[in-house]
Structure formats: C-alpha cells, structure tokens
Amino acid sequence: MVDRNGWGGDRPVLTGSRRSPPPSFVEQANVTDSGIYDEFDANWPDCWERAADLLSWNRPYETVLEDENAPFYRWFTGGQLNAAENCVDRHLEAGRKTHTAIRWEGKHGDRKTYTYRDLYVAINEFAAALRELGVEEDDVVTIYLPMIPELPIAMLACARIGAPHSVVFAGLSADALATRMDAADSEFLVTCDGYYRRGDAFNQKSKADNARLKLAQDVRTVVVDRLGEDLPHVLGDEEFDYHGLREEFAGETVEPVPRDAEDMLFLMYTSGTTGEPKGVVHTTGGYLSHVAWTSHAVLDVKPEDTYWCAADIGWITGHSYIVYGPLALGTTTVMYEGTPDYPDRDRLWEIVDRNAVDIFYTAPTAIRAFMKWGEDYPDRHDLSSLRLLGSVGEPISPRPWNWYYEHVGNGECPVVDTWWQTETGAVTISTLPGIDEMKPGAAGPGLPGIDVRVVDESGEPVEPGESGYLTIARPWPGMVRTLYDGDDRFRAEYWDQFSAPDRGEWWYGSGDAARIDEDGYITVLGRVDDVINVSGRRLSTMEIESAITGVEGVAEAAVVGRSSGTNGTDIQAYVSTEGGYDDQGAVHEAIVDNIEAAIGPIARPTDVLFTPELPKTRSGKIMRRLLEDVANDEELGDTSALRNPEIVGEIQAEIREE
C-alpha cells in the first residue's frame, strides 16, 4: 500500500542490528549522562548555555534566544566575541603555543605543520594585509582556494577583522564564481595560481581572471603561489602576491574585532530549488557555539586528539568540522589536498597510520568506494589509533556502515551517522556516541535540544515506519539566519510549508524525506524531490539505491528516471561492483530480488548498467544529474566539477552499444 506521502508502503526501516558503544569508549567520552536529553528539554532554550560556555566572550550575552520576530531568531544577543580569537588566541593564552593546530598533507607528499603560534602569526600578518588592501568590517571577502593551509588562514584573518568570508569551492567554474561574487557584491578575492589534480597542474588563476571579467565591480585579488615553476603566472593591476604581503607585514599583529553574536561570520552559497544559488548567512555566536558543542559531544573531540574530517573546506562540512569546530576546541585538525586513491587506494589509511588519527569523519560515497576497493587497503596499515568514526553528507545504508565499522574501526569504534545541512550549520541528528546505541542505516534521534519531527503534508506526525517530511520544530543556535538575497525567499524556502504563525509555531522544512522508528531514530530517505514517479507512484531514489547496495558484491549505485512511452518514467540503475565480483548476471538477479523484497515490484529497474565507477565531483558526491542526462540522451550539463569526467563518455558508449 502507498503511504500518505507517496514514498512507498508500510514496511520495516532498512537498518541493521543494534550495536552498543564499547565500554572503553564510554569511559573516556565527553558526554555520558543519558539524562542530558531530559535536561535539555526541561531547560530549553537556556540549555544552550552549555554550548556557549565552550567559548570565550568579550562581553557576556544577555539573552539566550530572542524569538519575537520568528522565524528570524536571534541567539546570545548582547554578547560579543571574535571567532579567530576563540579558535587561536585563547589557546596561546592557555599555554598551548607549541601544540599543533593544523597538519597539512599535500597531494605530492609534501607536508606542513602549523602550531597554534604559527597559525596566530600567519592570521595576523594576513589580516594586516587585508586591512591595507581596504577590507573593512562587514566587507565580504571571497575565497577561491583548494585545500591548502592558506584557506583556513584567510578565513580566520577575515574573521579577525570582522569581514565575513564567502568560500567558493575551488572546483567550481568561473561562471559559478562570478555569480556568487556578484550576488554578494564582493570586491575582494583570495585565490591561487593553481593546484594539482591527480598529479597534473591545473590553472586556477585563469578561472578567477575570467570570473573577474564578468563582474561590474572592481576587484582586488590576492594570489597564493602554490605551484611555483610548475605554473608560472603574472600579476596584473590590483593583484597582489600572498607571500609578498605576508613579508611586508611580517610580525604585525591586529587586535581581533569584537563582533556582536548576531553579526555575520560567513556567507555560503548553496543550490536552490529555483536554480539560483542561495546565500546562506551564518552568524558568529550561535554558529560557533553549535559547532563547538557538536564537535565536543558528537565527535568526542579533545584538545589532545589528532582529528581528521576528510571533506573540503569549500563546503559547509569543512567550515564546521575542519576549521571552526576543532580549532575552537584547541585540537589538531588534519587537512588533505588530494583524493582517496592517489597515488594509491591506501592513501587515506597511510595518513591515518602516520599521524595516529583518533577521529575520522568522511562521506558515505567515500566509504562505498573503500568497500569496493576491498579491505586489503586498510589492512596494510595500523589503524588502532582510531577511537571514533563518523559519516556525513548523505544517508549511509547498512552494508557500507557495517564495512566501515568492521574494516576501518575493527569493530571497536562507535560510528556517528550525522545528518545536517548547510542551513543547519552543524549536526542536528545523530547518536551521542558515549550514550546511545547505534542502528546501521539510521542516523539516530535529534540531538539534545533539537526537536526533530517527521510529519505528513498537513504537519501531523506519521506513524513509526511510515515516511514523511523531516522538520525541526524549535530553533537551534547554528541555524541559518536569513538568505543574503532576501528575507522573503528565506521564509518561502524553509518556513512556509509547515509553520502555523497564528499558533506561534514556526517549523523548519528541511526538504528531506525520512522515517522515524519507535525509538525516535531517524532514517533519512534523501531529498523530497529526489523521487522517480513510476505509474503515479513516487519512489525515493535513496531507498532504491539502499536496496541495491544491500546486495553482496555491490559497492555503489545510482538510480535515475528515464522517460518512456509506457509508464511515463522507467528506472535506470547504474551499479559499480566490488573487486572480485565478475558474475554480473547473478548480481543483477540479486539486485532485482532485493528491490522487490524491500520495496515492491513497482521499483524494479528497467535497466541495470554495470560501470567500473560512477561520475563524482571532487568532493566525492555522485553526479546523478549527469546520469539522468545520459539515460535520456540529452545534452550534458556542466561537467567542470567532475574528478573523473572520462567515465561519463564510457557510460554513454556502453549504452549506445546496447
């Protein structure tokens, strides 16, 4: 039977058996009192003082939450603080000058280590340079850099002088950069000459130059010399060399500018339903409190740890859990410039081994690739330093979850499967690893103080096991404050669908579909619009993909809709198998059986195409849009963000042969 929201029938949630956190982990965990959930509920919103107490405030806040102008909530009003001071200066004052802040691993084996004192010096010198170039408080500085140390240095230098930063992922095109700079009216850009992509020098400055030509405003540009003689470059008018500026202002210090808690810390553009990127505004006090709290409570980060979030700072995960969260807690954060399989498929495990990484946080797409390559690669290295594993970016199904748990964590590390968004700023759904049981395939409950609800179209709670819309019914500190391009769009995008202003109810609509079980654990099913309409039935692509990846021998899968003259839309599946599984006929049969058992015959793919890999962005996400273009024989959209563009042509050729 089809449930009221049209994502499928009444059937059990596809999760694995429960697992408890090891006693040895619980003994040392930052948060172990199960009463924290009741405590946060009983003391809400003042419960969030616990998060704010992780920071140093120049002026104490007066009010935890102002909600008179909902949904434009204000957190920790009256308080003043500076993000760079919280991430660097106070650790020096605590006697930790020589403690490592950043360990950077370059693509070609080059490495750099920054102590907190080193980071302090670099941030101050660049902050002084930015001021000299004319950057004033509240000016938006665009940063277009790959994963090199100058990226967090630039972010924190901006924060130090009260200038919001807007980081644009280095893999995006010149047009994308120009669009974002135009929308932010940004007159300052920090970029580099180029970076290495799978061993080859790639010209980044040419993209930045092309973007500047499209802008009406004059732009002052700082260029980091990353490649040296591998890619010579010339500086033009209003262009300045980063290292030259550092030398010019060597030894300079800049007093951190006290910022009101509600002052903007950064602007991040994310995709919008209308096609125009949305400028998500995050503020200083609430955001920094939330990322510090979740780094402490969910990721169990301690100052003495070596912590690695294998994301890209160009996206929100890198902002929150490479830069601001771990540095606010004074830990050592690892940055890696390269890809998981270059120069070999054990590259990540070699880094974990050599750096004795305690906490490893990565995406399900990467985990599925690890599973495909096989356990021989992690087995080559000593991973016994690992204490906690994390998953972020999209739902993770039980098989890769269990593989991660067994072959990377040796069955001894809790796995936190975290759900959050650019707009939430920080983790909102996850288990607390020192308290909660884990259910492979289910992210967990809402965190303490986060009121997560799964509802139908009218806002009524769905029954356990049914699918619905994932909403958050109370504000939280790390939440988006508004959109840079307008309050009206902010309300329309996130609040209008499920809110009842006449009753004082403002519910955030995440745009995701989910199920909730009898224990309050959430299984995220993907975007509400990530559905395929087959014979009037709306089928979740994530749910079909989970059924496919649940088959022994399947590493990754992506399903898309293909127009047909019969049902209107057919399901086409792209499947990548693990090494050693050559009998595609048997795997195909098992895929069909598993889909029919888990969802029903309606979800059976018309075609299953086997491919050695799936097209992915350099951040590791599968580009389903391109696969849909291929399935429907349409002109391909922008492929500039792909790290393996050749695979698209191979898939097209195979389809033509069939």
Q: How far apart are CA 11 and CA 16, in angstroms?
A: 14
Q: How far apart are CA 539 and CA 559, in angstroms?
A: 11
634 or 299: whose pLDDT is higher?
299
Average pLDDT over residues 189-196: 94
Residue pLDDT, tens place only, 419-444: 999 999 999 999 999 999 999 999 99
Q: Is the pLDDT of residue 56 over 50?
A: yes
Average pLDDT over residues 218-238: 91
Local confidence band at 273 (pLDDT 50, 70, 90 cut-offs): very low
Q: Is the pLDDT of residue 366 over 70?
A: yes
- For the stretch 244-251, contacts whose Cβ atoms lie closer than 8 Å and that sit 24 or more positions apart, written own/partner, are 245/125, 245/126, 245/129, 245/132, 246/122, 246/125, 246/126, 246/129, 248/129, 249/125, 249/126, 249/128, 249/129, 249/132, 250/125, 251/121, 251/125
Residue pLDDT, tens place only, 571-599: 999 999 887 777 888 999 999 998 888 77
Is 54 within 8 Å of 292 (Cβ atoms)? yes
Cβ atoms within 10 Å of 605's Cβ, excluding its own: 23
Q: How far apart are CA 434 and CA 290, in angstroms?
A: 19
Cβ atoms within 10 Å of 101's Cβ, excluding its own: 24
Local confidence band at 9 (pLDDT 50, 70, 90 cut-offs): very low
* pLDDT at residue 537, rounded to an integer: 67
Residue 462 vs residues 10, 83, 303, 416: alpha-carbon distances, Å: 11, 40, 42, 25
Q: Of 582, 524, 573, whose CA–CA distance to 549 is shortest? A: 573
**CATH architecture of structural domain 530-657:** 2-Layer Sandwich (3.30)
Q: How far apart are CA 477 and CA 487, in angstroms?
A: 19
Instruction: Please name the helix (run of DSSP H) or strand (run of DSSP E) that holds residue 103, with its range, or none.
Output: strand 100-105
* pLDDT at residue 654, rounded to an integer: 77
What global pTM score does this model have? Answer: 0.87
DSSP string, 45-93: TGGGHHHHTTS--SB--SEEEE-TTTTS-EEEET-EE-HHIIIIIHHHH
Average pLDDT over residues 24-53: 97
Is 14 within 8 Å of 515 (Cβ atoms)? no
* pLDDT at residue 131, rounded to an integer: 98
Query: Which of 13-27, 84-98, 490-504 has the weakest average pLDDT?
Result: 13-27
* pLDDT at residue 7, rounded to an integer: 39
Phi and psi torsions of 266, nearest 5°: -155, 165
Residue pLDDT, tens place only, 505-532: 999 999 999 999 999 999 998 888 777 8
* pLDDT at residue 550, rounded to an integer: 86
Residue 234 vs residues 118, 143, 228, 572: alpha-carbon distances, Å: 29, 19, 12, 48
Local confidence band at 485 (pLDDT 50, 70, 90 cut-offs): confident
Is 174 within 8 Å of 211 (Cβ atoms)? yes
Residue pLDDT, tens place only, 285-307: 999 999 999 999 999 999 999 99
What is the tally of helices (H) and strands (E) in the chain? 22, 29
* pLDDT at residue 274, rounded to an integer: 46
Is 88 within 8 Å of 156 (Cβ atoms)? yes
Average pLDDT over residues 367-382: 94
Q: Of 508, 394, 518, 421, whose CA–CA distance to 462 is shortest? A: 518
Q: Is the pLDDT of residue 655 over 80?
A: no
Instruction: Please name the helix (run of DSSP H) or strand (run of DSSP E) that holds residue 195, with its range, or none.
Output: strand 194-197
Local confidence band at 8 (pLDDT 50, 70, 90 cut-offs): very low
Q: Is the pLDDT of residue 5 over 50?
A: no
Average model confidence (pLDDT) for the chain? 91
226 or 617: whose pLDDT is higher?
226
Tell me how many degrees the CA angle 237-239-244 measures, rounded to the nearest 5. Answer: 130
Q: Token pair for residue 250?
A: 């060597």
Query: Which of 415-424, 568-577, 648-657 has the weakest average pLDDT?
Result: 648-657
Is 65 within 8 Å of 75 (Cβ atoms)? yes
SS3 call for 164: coil
Contacts of 334 by beta carbon, 8 Å cutoff, 6+ apart: 102, 103, 104, 105, 306, 307, 308, 309, 351, 355, 357
DSSP string, 229-281: GGS-----TTEEEHHHHHHHTTT---PPPPEETTSEEEEEEE--TTSSPEEEE
* pLDDT at residue 388, rounded to an integer: 98
Q: Token pair for residue 190?
A: 């920090």
Token pair 């759900």: residue: 419
CA dihedral 100, 28, 54, 394 (to 10 degrees): 80
Contacts of 23 by beta carbon, 8 Å cutoff, 6+ apart: none
Q: How far apart are CA 393 and CA 311, in angstroms?
A: 9
623: amino acid identity, one letter? M
Q: Where are the domains of the chain?
A: 530-657
Burial of 601 from C-beta contacts in 10 A (0-12 / 13-18 / 19+): exposed
Q: How far apart are CA 138 and CA 365, in angstroms?
A: 37
Q: Is the pLDDT of residue 276 over 80?
A: no
